[in-house]
């Protein structure tokens, strides 16, 4: 990243030094994230501190399509989808700062230290908390935890990158953070 880009990020961070807490309903989320049913895994944002952290909710219902096969006799939410919910919450936080987000996609470039502590079942509400650990012009490293009833069910560090929506598969090469 060049020095003018770094200066812009630092200026935005200084501007955001006074925490601004924001909430978002589903309509607001749909304006920012490109995901749609059945893959949108964020229902509401209860707290957003610009460029720093986000707290989002996902209501887990028996009507989720993945429960038909995971597992019919004992439905549990696949761990990979909990990590995806963490990434979507982080993407939502980051994309609020991107003015041309309609031209870009935020894609995974890595998942580290993923741990699954407890199963998530229909009727649970996931509370997803994500903190920014590093943020560059086009890439970020985020630490996330998902909770049910105050207990950690999943934690992971995810890295992601902004790529043009019309780019090919090679556009998502990992950037070291």
Is 70 among the residues known to form the active site? Answer: yes
- Please identify which of the residues 70, 127, 136, 145 carries the catalytic annotation: 70
Residue 9 to residue 34: CA distance in whole angstroms: 24
Nearest to 148 by CA among 129, 125, 130: 125
What distances in angstroms separate CA 134 from CA 63, 71, 92, one per listed residue? 36, 37, 16
- Burial class of 100 by CB neighbour count within 10 A (0 to 12, 13 to 18, 19+): exposed
Which residues are tagged catalytic? 70
């Amino acid at each position: 990243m060049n020095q003018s880009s770094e200066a812009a990020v630092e200026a935005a961070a200084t501007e955001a030094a006074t925490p601004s807490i924001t909430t978002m309903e589903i309509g607001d989320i749909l304006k920012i994230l490109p995901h749609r049913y059945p893959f949108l895994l964020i229902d509401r944002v209860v707290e957003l501190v610009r460029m720093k952290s986000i707290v989002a909710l996902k209501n887990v219902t028996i009507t989720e399509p993945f429960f038909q096969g995971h597992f019919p006799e004992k439905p549990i939410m696949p761990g990979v989808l909990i990590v995806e919910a963490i990434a979507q919450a982080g993407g939502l936080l980051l994309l609020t700062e991107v003015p041309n987000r309609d031209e870009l996609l935020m894609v995974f470039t890595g998942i580290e230290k993923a741990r699954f502590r407890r199963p998530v079942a229909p009727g649970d509400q996931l509370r997803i908390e994500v903190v920014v650990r590093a943020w560059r012009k086009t890439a970020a490293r985020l630490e996330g935890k998902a909770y049910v009833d105050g207990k950690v069910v999943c934690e992971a560090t995810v890295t992601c990158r902004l790529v043009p929506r019309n780019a090919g598969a090679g556009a998502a090469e990992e950037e070291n953070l």
